[in-house]
Structure 1
Amino acid sequence: MTPRDTGQRSPVNASHVPRRPGVAALARIGHPSPGVDPADASPHSFPDGGTWRTEIPSVEGPEALAVVLAESLRLDVPVHRVSQGSGIWMLTDDEISGMAESCAERGIELCLFTGPRGTWDIGAATRTDSGGGGLRARGHDALAGCVEDALRATGLGVRCLLVADEGVLWTLHRLRAAGLLPDGTTFKLSALTGPVNPAAYSVYERLGADSLNVPSDLTLDHLTEIRRVSRAPMDLYVEAPDDLGGYVRMYEVAELIRRGAPLYLKFGLSRSPAIYPYGAQLRDLTLATARERVRRGRLALDLLARHGADGGMSPLGSRLPGPLRRFSVQEGD
C-alpha cells in the first residue's frame, strides 16, 4: 500500500505489529526501547469495527468548508467530520443548509456549536485569572438559547451538535429522548469542557454525550484509565490550538489510537491566532488555516502509513457511536 492508501484494515487481525518510531535504528546502537503492554490497548471500537476517524475543526462557514472539501480531495485526506466553533447563531439559515448539503454529498458529518456561552456574554468572571464558569451557559436565557440553536440547526439538516455545558447536554439529551430532536442527532462535548479523569468521562457519557473531547495534555496512561470505564468515542487534538496548549503529538498518533479507540483524530493548528467568533474580518486567516489543517491531517496519516499503523480506519460516512450508557430520563426531571 502507498502512504496515501488509508483503507480500512483490522488492527486485530493484522499479521504484523506496527513499527514504533526509531526502534530498529536505536537497537543497532544498543539503545533500549520500552516494551508495549498489550493490557494498555483499548478493547473498544466504533460500531463499524473501526478504531479511528478524522475530524477537521474550526470550519467556520461555507467558504471554509469549501476549502476543506477541495483540499481533502487534492491531498487524499479522508474526512469523517467537520466541526465549527463560532456557533450556530453566527450562521444564516442558508449558510447552515448549504453546509449540511455539501457535507451530505461527501458523507461527512457536520457538527455546529450551540448557543450563548460564558466567554462571550456579559459575565466578567470568565475574564479573571480563574476563568470563572468558562464556556458554560449562564442562566436560563443562555440555556434556552442553546435549545433554540439546537432546534433550528436540526431543522435545517444538522445532526451533530457541539456542547460546552453539562446542563445544556442533559437538556438536549432529554429533548432527544422525547423526540423533540431528530433520531440520530448526536452531541459532542467541547474541548474547553473536556473531562480529565475516568469518573468525569463516565458522567458526561451518561448525561448524553456521544463523543467527548479530552484535553490534549492527557497522558497515554490517562487514556487507558478512561477506556477501562467507558467506550464512548473520544475526540483528541493531535495538534492543539494555542488556547488549548499548542501541543503537537504527531509521533504518538498510533499509540493514541491503540490506547484511546474509538478515537477521532482532530487536526488543529498551533501558532495561529484565534478565529472565534468568525466574521469577514477574519476571512483570509480562516481560509488559510482551514487549508493547513487538512495538510496537517495528511502529515499524520502519512506517518501512520510509514509505521504500518494505518489500518482500522472507520469507513467514510460512518458517524454513529453505537450503544452508550445513560442516566435514566424521567418525566419531570
Structure 2
Amino acid sequence: MTTSAIDALLTDLDLPATDAHALPASPLRFPDGAAYRVEIPSVEGPRCLETVLAEARRYEVPVTRVSQGTGVGLLTDAEISEMVAMAAAAGVELCLFARPSAGWDTSAMAVAPAGGGLAACVRGADQLAAAVDEIRRAAELGVRSVLIADLGLLSVFGQLRAAGELPAQMQAKVSVMLSVANPATARVIAGLGADTINLPTDLSIAQIGAIRAAVPTTLDVYVEAPDNLGGFVRHYEQPRLVRVAAPVYLKFGLRNAPDIYPSGSHLEATAVALSAERVRRARLGLDLLRRAGVDADCSVAGADGLALPVPAT
C-alpha cells in the first residue's frame, strides 16, 4: 500500500497522517483563556506542599497544580486533610496518585528486563479494588484530582464519575507511566475519561503537535524530567511547546535528583529540598519564556477549570 493510501486511511479516521512538522499554533486554551499553566510534581506530603507554596510566593511563580507520586494509601487522613486545606486556601489543584501497581507488589515480571511496561499497571481484581478505594478515600477527604496510570482503572474512574459515585467535578490526570505516545492512543485515553494527559518525556514538538491535533484534552509535558524518565532538560523548547500544545501544563521535574518513591517521614528533608528546587526551576522556565517574547497568558491560582480541593466543613 502506498504512503498516500495509508495517509488517506488515517485521515478518514480523523487522525493526523504525519507528525506536525510545521509546528502549527494551537487555537485551544484553558477555560480562563490561558495557553499554559505551571505544575510542580512530586509534592509528597504537607511539608513539601507548604514549601512549594512558600517558594512560589518568594519566586513569584504562578503554580496552579501540584501532583504527588507516593500515593493516597501512604498518606494519613490528617495529612491529606492538611494538604487539601492548604491547596484550597492557595487556589491550587492537588492531585494524588491512585498508586497500587504491579511494580510495588510481588510481581516478578515488573522487575524483569523486558517487564517494565507492567510496573505501573494495576495487577489483578484485588488491586483494582484497592485503587478504587484510594480514589474514593481521596474524594471523601476533599481531593478532586487523581493521578491514574492504568487503562482499566481510568475506564472505571470514568464510569464511576458518570454514575455519580464520584464527584462530577473530580478530574483524572493520566500519568506519564501510561504511555500516550501517538494520536490514536491519545484519543482512546480521552474517550475513557481523562481530563489531562501526561505525555512521554521524549516526544518531539512535532509529535506532540500531532497529538494536539487529535484531541482537545489538556496535555502535561515535562520541561525537565527526572533521571528515571530520561533526565531531559527541555527549557529552551518551551516557547514552541506553548504555541503548539496549548492548553498545556509545563511540568517541572528535576534532573540529578534521587528517586524517593515511596516517600515518607524518613525522606522528608530530601523531599522538601527537591520541592523547593522544582519551584526555582519553574522560575527559570518562566524567565526564559519572557526573554523569548512569549506573550501567551499563564493561568494563576484559582483559575477556571482547576479541580480545586474541597476542605471538610
Q: d(CA) in 2 for partners of 1:134 and 1:199?
A: 23
Instruction: Write the mapping of 1:127-138 to structure 2, written as runs, cut at 5 A.
Output: 127-130=111-114, 131-138=116-123
Q: What's the secondary structure of 1:146's corresponding residue?
A: helix
CA separation of 1:248/1:120 partners in 2, compared to 1, >3 Å: closer, same or farther? Answer: same
Identity over the aligned pairs, expressed in percent? 48
Choose the corresponding residue for 1:86, options 47, 58, 70. Answer: 70
SS of the aligned residue for 2:26 comes to coil
Q: Aligned pair 1:170/2:155, yes or no?
A: yes
State how 1:120-269 maps to structure 2 within 5 Å: 120-130=104-114, 131-269=116-254
- Equivalent residues of 2:96, 2:146 under 8 A apart: yes
Name the structure 2 match of 1:44: 28
Q: What's 1:17 paired with?
A: none
Work out whether 1:117 is the aligned partner of 2:101.
Answer: yes
What SS is found at the alignment partner of 1:169?
Answer: helix
Letter matched to residue 63 of structure 1: R
- The superposition leaves residues 79-109 of structure 1 with CA deviations (integer Å, 9 ceiling, x where unpaired) of 1100000000000001001101100001000
Identify the structure with the greater helix proportion. Answer: 2
Gaps of 5+ in 2: 1-20, 308-313
Would you say how many aligned residue pairs link Structure 1 and Structure 2?
A: 287
Cα displacement (A) at 1:194:
2.9
The residue aligned with 1:101 is 85
Look up the SS of the partner of 2:135 in the other structure.
helix
Contact 2:93–2:306 (8 Å) recurs in 1? no
TM value normalised by structure 2:
0.89
Runs ≥4 residues deviating over 3 A: none
Aligned partners of 1:38 and 1:166: how far apart in 2?
31
CA contact 1:47–1:321 (8 Å) conserved in 2: no
Instruction: Provide the C-alpha distance between the structure 1 equivalents of 2:172 and 2:304, rounded to a whole number of angstroms.
Output: 11
In 1, Cα distance between equivalents of 2:305 and 2:152: 22
**Root-mean-square deviation over aligned CA pairs:** 1.6
Would you say the 8 A contact 1:48–1:315 is kept in 2? no
- Does structure 1 retain, via aligned residues, the 8 Å contact 2:158–2:193? yes
SS in 2 for 1:195: coil
- Superposed displacement of residue 223, structure 1: 1.1
